[in-house]
Structure 1
Amino acid sequence: MKKRIILGVTGASGSIYATRLAMHLKNKGHEVHLIPTQTAKLVIDYEKQSKLYDWCDSVFDIDDFFVEAASGSSSYDGMAIVPCSMGTLAKVSTGVADNLLVRSADVCLKENRPLVIVPREMPYNAIHLENMMKLYQARASIVPASPAFYRNPTTIEELVDTVVAKVLSHLKIEHELSPDWKGHHA
């Protein structure tokens, strides 16, 4: 079943995570609706990830509250903020919906739709952790950009896809990126 996903992208480094997520969503026939912050646009360009735009069905202006994504009556199936800066995480966790990206996240929370946050910061301070806990308690999924190495990835894309697989799973989207672990016997 085709899903409609909002993809928020902030100015945190790691826009490759957003590009790979959008690519996998589109390759499975889902819709991707992008909301980049102004700084995200600069980072996407700097990190040479402009292909991200090609995978998206639409790109919304961060200040446009008159689009469907701003309303609880919209038909979106979930949202991922990939990567998520600590500033955006703080706004979402405190309900400061002063732009479309944060408003869309707020809508997902109030409508009990999947909201996946991929924080891209290290180390975390106590405020970061408290904000993540608030979002977790509000039923958001916190999926740090901490790739898995136990599958022995050989490319950056394979490494990134270990995080993307978790995001897809938390959005309730089937994928073949990371088959169930069957264990390893020495």
Structure 2
Amino acid sequence: MDSNQNTTITTPLTVFAGTLVHSTRTVPLQIVNDALIGVRGKTIIFIESQSDLNDLARRYFFNPKDVRYMKQSQFLIPGFVDTHIHAPQYAISGSGMDLQLLDWLEKYTFPTEMKYNNTKFAENVYEKVVDRTLKWGTTTACYYGTIHTKSTLILADVIDKAGQRAFVGKVNMDQNSPENYMEDIQTSIQETER
């Protein structure tokens, strides 16, 4: 090959055939039984009817034999969006179910969240919570961290490496929590901006 020749390497197209359940701007629930969905990387390239297979194969340069057909009992849906995940609380999931909120915060949440000043502990838990949310089909999330900036940045890195879309926020607390788990207002603002 000529070293001056310009070549483009693209991610291959993956094509799924089967039932698609989704919504559009005009239709709140649409079930398409004969869908053909073309995906390149993390981008949906087309959603068409299976009757258009040969035309789409020519247009998008894929072999119809490589189409992945779903079973009749399977279907594709868009990823879930979770707008409120307290990532550090994953470590205490299911605990203290007999307690009222304020008692639960005092007994479980605050002591656990103080541990996130240890970045290794934080990374271990955050890898698990992001892995779990992705396995549940959550492709987009809003995560709350703790008052610890370094650990919250680790959460953002873990999410980025896993390929999940997310907003990540450092928690800011200057009242209603133990004295050793609060920030003064100025420090909180500076750490949030950082």
TM-score by length of 1: 0.29
Q: Which has the higher contact order (CA 8 A, sep 6+)?
A: 1
Greater strand fraction, Structure 1 or Structure 2: 2
